[in-house]
Amino acid sequence: MSFADDAYGALTDHDDDARWAYGTGFADPLAGVPTTVAGDVDRADLAAYCLMLGDDALVMSHRLQQWVTRAPELEDELALANIGLDLLGQARLLLGRAGEVEGAGRDEDALAYLRDAGEFRNVRLAERGDADFAHLVARLLVFSCWRLALLDRLTASRDPVLAAIGAKGVKEVTYHREYAAQWVVRLGDGTDLSHARMRAAMEAVLPLAGELFSTHEIEARLAAAGVAVDPALLRAEFDEAMNQVLDAATLTGLPGAAAAAQGRDGEHGPELGEILAEMQELARALPGGVW
């Protein structure tokens, strides 16, 4: 049944998958991609790595969706919603891969909705709250510059699923970085007030970048096996991209990265608990429910 024939019928035209909330009729981006795990790759490490990258995208996506109805213009609400949906799509693929490799019977929903804060492996930057729109675009710029460099290298992963997710993500995050960069330049090189607020936002966000380039032992092992990306190797590309934007935004003399936090090991601030309480409420109230 086509959407043009019956809009209501199309909502349930999804091969008996009751979870149609993300829409229907989309091509599977991983169709035809081999899912086998190489014999020399530790499955527990691979599952944990997919959780790390998936949690980054999931938590950042939720933060972005909180800006719908709050952005300066309608066009920005749409842009932020679409960026959030891009990241949600990446999260679904990565959490699905984590559950598949783990082999414990947990699917993407169980991993997203039924884990407590201490079990999440996202970087602290993703969960950070935004005091204003300047903080949001500063955080999105830092996140996108780092994630784009990571996904670009992930396209060469020995794990075919990670390589495919990286190739898909590069196209999406290229736009995310461009969108954030345009706003940082617009505010930084704008009025005295916008410049001051953009500077304050960058001063608050940049110290959080230290964690992005701290290599976790799991990342180190998988990078040596040709599966993951060593984040320490991303710093030069990140700095180059950030410096181009900050120079154009007339934002100089900003602080560097502080000591790395340990989000990868489940150490988070109270903000993540607040995010999960909102995001997981329905799934925990109706265990096993579908919609």
pLDDT tens digit sequence for 192-239? 999 999 999 999 999 999 999 999 999 999 999 999 999 999 999 999
**252 within a domain of the structure (yes/no):** yes
Through-space distance between the first and last CA atoms of the chain, rounded to whole angstroms: 20
100-122, pLDDT tens digit by residue?
A: 999 999 999 999 999 999 999 99
**18 within a domain of the structure (yes/no):** no
**8 within a domain of the structure (yes/no):** no
Task: With a cut of 60, say whether residue 19 has pLDDT above it.
Answer: no
Query: So what's the pLDDT on residue 110?
Result: 95
Task: With a cut of 80, say whether residue 142 has pLDDT above it.
Answer: yes
For the segment 91-103, the average pLDDT, to the nearest whole number, is 97
What is the overall mean pLDDT for the chain?
90
Read off the pLDDT band of 31 (50, 70, 90): confident
The count of domains in the chain is: 1
8 Å CB contact between 87 and 58: yes
**Residue bearing the bigger pLDDT, 7 or 146:** 146
* CA 224 and chain centroid, separation: 24
CA R_g for the chain: 19
Q: What whole-number percentage of the chain has pLDDT above 90? A: 81
Query: So what's the pLDDT on residue 20?
Result: 36
Query: So what's the pLDDT on residue 254?
Result: 87
Query: So what's the pLDDT on residue 228?
Result: 98
Task: With a cut of 80, say whether residue 10 has pLDDT above it.
Answer: no
**86 within a domain of the structure (yes/no):** yes
For the segment 250-277, the average pLDDT, to the nearest whole number, is 87
In this structure, how many other beta carbons lie within 10 angstroms of the beta carbon of residue 192?
A: 7
Task: With a cut of 90, say whether residue 15 has pLDDT above it.
Answer: no
Q: Give the CATH number, domain containing residue 218.
A: 1.20.1260.10
Residue among 168, 176, 171 at smallest CA distance from 90: 168
Sign of CA pseudo-dihedral 10, 12, 13, 14: positive
For the segment 20-25, the average pLDDT, to the nearest whole number, is 42
Task: With a cut of 80, say whether residue 24 has pLDDT above it.
Answer: no
**68 within a domain of the structure (yes/no):** yes
Q: How far apart are CA 282 and CA 276, in angstroms?
A: 11
**273 within a domain of the structure (yes/no):** yes
Give 194-198's long-range contacts (Cβ < 8 A, gap of 24+).
194/134, 195/250, 195/251, 197/132, 197/134, 198/134, 198/138, 198/249, 198/251
Query: So what's the pLDDT on residue 291?
Result: 66
Query: So what's the pLDDT on residue 21?
Result: 40
Query: So what's the pLDDT on residue 256?
Result: 75
Query: So what's the pLDDT on residue 26?
Result: 59
Q: Token digits for 174?
A: 């290229």
Q: Which residue has the tokens 């990446």?
A: 90
Task: With a cut of 60, say whether residue 55 has pLDDT above it.
Answer: yes
Lowest mean pLDDT among 13-27, 165-179, 189-203, 256-270: 13-27
For the segment 126-130, the average pLDDT, to the nearest whole number, is 95
Query: Containing domain of residue 185, as a range?
Result: 42-285
**137 within a domain of the structure (yes/no):** yes
Query: For residue 85, with 0-12 CB atoms within 10 Å meaning exposed, 13-18 middle and 19 or more buried, which class applies?
Result: middle
- Render the burial of 262-272: b for 16+ CB within 10 Å, e for the rest: ebbeeebeebb
**28 within a domain of the structure (yes/no):** no
